[in-house]
Structure 1
C-alpha cells in the first residue's frame, strides 16, 4: 500500500495535470454558440453581393488587415512588454444615464466603446450594444472591461432600432443580444451575413433586416442606410464571411453618421455628398497601430473623416472601455482634441453613461487627464497563475487580433 507521502505526491501530480485541463475546459465553455454561424450557414445570404467574391467579402480599396508573420512576432513581444500601456491608472468616471421619457430631437448617450443610444427626431436607435464583461467567445480569455457598464441593458427605454456594424466581439456580443431579445421588440439592422449569427441565437426572422452597402430600410419614420466602411470581419478562424459597415440615420429633420469600426477611406466623402451633411458623427478613435493602420483610424483621421462627411458635432467612440492596442489609455482623446482644435471641429467627449444634447452641447470638459495611464505608474509583474500566464495573454491577444480589434 502506498505510503502517505507517496499518496500526497500522486495527488499533487494529478492536481498539476488536471489544473491546466480544467482551465482549458472553462476557457472553452460555450465556445460553439458564441462563435456564431458557420461559413455554410452564412453563404446563402451573402453570395449575391457585389462585395462578395471568392468565398469572402472585400473592401473596395486595397486593405491589408494584418502584418506579415515576421511583424506578428514583434507584436507578440510588444504584447508582453506593453500589455499595461492601454490600462487606465485610476477608475474611469461613470455617469448614471438620465434618459427622458420621450426621445429628443437630437441627443446621444455613450455607454463606452462603440455602444451608444442615439435620439433622432423623437426616435431611439441603439448602436453596437456591448454590455458583456469580456469581448471574446471565451469566459476566461480576451479583453475585459476597463470600467463597468454605466447601467444595466435592462434599464434602457424602448428603442426603435438596433444597428450593428460588424461581427467582431467588441461590436456583436451574444449576452447583450440575448438581453435585447428578452427586453426589447426593436428590429436588428445588420450588414449581410450577420443575420445568420442572430438566427442561431434565437432572434426571430421578423426582427432581422440584412442590408448590403447602400441598402436602405425604413423603421419608425427613420431612414437607415447601410454604408461603406473599411474593415474586415470574423469571429475567430473564419474571416470576411460577413459584411462590415457604417450607418446613416436620417430623420425628418436631422442626420447622424455612425462609423462603427473602420479605417480611413475615400468613401467618406462620397457618403457625405450623397447623404450628408450630418448634425452628429460618431467616429472611432482608438485601438490604432501601424501594424493595422488600414482597418482602424487614428484620431487625426477621424477628424479628417468628420470633415469629409460634412459633420457638425463629433463624438468619439471605440476607446476607453477595452485594452485593444498598445497606446496609452487617454492618448486617443488627447490627440483627437488637439486635431479638432487645429481644424476648428466641435467635439463632445462624454463620460460613459453621459448624455449629450447635440443641439446644445456642453463645453469640452477634460475628465480623462485625471484618469491617466497605468503605463505611467510602477507595475508589478503578473506572470504567475494560469489566467495571467504568457499562454493566456498570447491567447487573449490572438482572440483580439483575429477579430481585428
Structure 2
C-alpha cells in the first residue's frame, strides 16, 4: 500500500533543525496551547459511525455548485488596489499582491487522498485548469494533510512555473521526495521569515497537527502564514483551532488587508483542531483583519455538518460582530479594498430540508457602507 504520496521523513540537516526547534519537545512538535485531536473519549469506531450516518444528503449540495470560470483577461491587468484574491475552492486561494502571485494550499486533484480510487471526492470542479492559471511566484503550504498538500499539484507547479515553495519545518522532506529542488524550498519554523521576490513570508503559529502516512509522524510542523508586500498584508489560517495567539500575530505582524480563515470541517469530535465559523470570524477580528474570505468549505465532504452551514454561520457571526465578509463564487476574483456585494449563492444549491424557511439575515450597517445582500440574484 506504500505510495509516493505519503512523502518522506526528514533526515540530515532538516532533522537537526527540527530537533533544535523551540516548538519541538518530548519527541514531537507541540501546539501553542494544550490540544487534543479528538475529544469526549469517543472511540474511532464511534466517530466513524457518526461520520457515515450523519444526514449525508445535507452534507453535499443538492445541485451543481455555481462557478466563475476565470479567463486570462481576468488576470491580465494588475488589481487597481494592488491586491486581488481568487478563491478556487476549499483552502486554495490565488493572491495577487503588490505585483507578485502567491498560491495558497493548491489542490487540483479529484480526491484529497493518497489514492486515486478512494477518499473524499470533489463536490465541484476546480474553476480554472492549473495550466491556465499563469505564472505563480510563490506556493505557500500550511501543513501536510491531503486537502492542503497534493503531490500531483506540486509536481505540475514544479514543471509549469518557476515558483518557490514555502512550507513549515519538516514538510520540505515531502517536496524533495517528489522532485522539488532544495533551492526552490523555503522551510520555516514559527515566527521565522524569508524574503522571496519582494515579499516577506512568515510562518506563524496554528493549533493543529500533521499526518500523511499510515502512521502519524512527529517531525512535521503546521502553520498559518503571513505574506507582506510593500503595500499590503494578508493572512492565511491553514487549519487551526481557535487560540489566543491570533491576537499576538495581529500585534506583531498586522493589521491585515484580508484574512483567509478556515470556517468549515468542524465537529464536536475535534473542536480543538478546527475552528467553527464563529471562531473564524472572531480570529479575523483578533488579527486586525479588514476583509474576511471564508475558506475550507464547499469543496470536500469532511465533517458531519450540512454543506451550506459554514457560510450561513459565518454570515450571522459577521453580522453580530461587525466584520466585513466576502463570499464570492469559487473562481471569481475580487479586491478586498472594495468587497463585492454579498450574494447568498449557496442557498440555491444547498440541500435545504422540506418546508425550511429561507431567511436573509440583515448585515450590520457601517458608515458609508453601500454593500448589498443578494439571494439568488435578487436584491433583498
TM interval, short-chain normalised: 0.7 to 0.9
User: Counterparts of 1:34-183 in structure 2 under 5 Å?
Assistant: 34-38=5-9, 43-67=15-39, 70-82=42-54, 83-98=56-71, 99-104=74-79, 105-183=82-160
Provide the residue aligned with 1:32 in structure 2.
Answer: 3
Deviation at residue 360 of structure 1 after TM alignment: 1.5
Match among 225, 238, 244 for residue 216 of structure 2: 238
Deviation at residue 216 of structure 1 after TM alignment: 0.4
User: 2:305 matched to 1:327?
Assistant: yes
Deviation at residue 68 of structure 1 after TM alignment: 6.2
Report how many residues are paired: 347
Q: How far, CA to CA, are the matches of 1:157 and 1:179 in structure 2?
A: 12
Provide the residue aligned with 1:283 in structure 2.
Answer: 261
Q: Which runs of 5+ in 2 are unaligned?
A: 355-380
Provide the residue aligned with 1:259 in structure 2.
Answer: 237
Q: How far, CA to CA, are the matches of 1:54 and 1:43 in structure 2?
A: 15
Q: How far, CA to CA, are the matches of 1:298 and 1:103 in structure 2?
A: 34
Q: How far, CA to CA, are the matches of 1:215 and 1:68 in structure 2?
A: 35
Higher mean alpha-carbon deviation, 68-77 vs 364-373, is at 68-77
Q: Please give the secondary structure, in 2, of the residue aligned with 1:332.
A: helix
User: 2:187 matched to 1:207?
Assistant: no
Q: How far, CA to CA, are the matches of 1:167 and 1:268 in structure 2?
A: 21
User: Counterparts of 1:3-42 in structure 2 under 5 Å?
Assistant: 28=1, 31-38=2-9
Aligned in 2, Cα 1:122/1:364: closer, same or farther, shift over 3 Å? Answer: same
Q: Deviations 1:129-181 (Å, cap 9, x if unpaired)? A: 00010101011221010001111111112122110000000000001001001
User: 2:323 matched to 1:345?
Assistant: yes
Aligned in 2, Cα 1:267/1:159: closer, same or farther, shift over 3 Å? Answer: same
Provide the residue aligned with 1:272 in structure 2.
Answer: 250
Q: Which runs of 5+ in 1 are unaligned?
A: 1-27, 378-405
Deviation at residue 69 of structure 1 after TM alignment: 6.0
Q: Please give the secondary structure, in 2, of the residue aligned with 1:355.
A: coil
Provide the residue aligned with 1:17 in structure 2.
Answer: none
Provide the residue aligned with 2:293 in structure 1.
Answer: 315
State TM-score, norm by structure 1: 0.83
Q: How far, CA to CA, are the matches of 1:330 and 1:239 in structure 2?
A: 33
Deviation at residue 122 of structure 1 after TM alignment: 1.6
Higher mean alpha-carbon deviation, 118-127 vs 319-328, is at 118-127
Q: Deviations 1:339-395 (Å, cap 9, x if unpaired)? A: 10111111000111111111221111110000112x848xxxxxxxxxxxxxxxxxx
Deviation at residue 123 of structure 1 after TM alignment: 1.3
Match among 272, 281, 299 for residue 294 of structure 1: 272
| Contact 2:328–2:340, Cα closer than 8 Å, also in 1 | no
Q: How far, CA to CA, are the matches of 1:291 and 1:85 in structure 2?
A: 19
Structure of larger gyration radius? 1
| Contact 2:206–2:222, Cα closer than 8 Å, also in 1 | yes
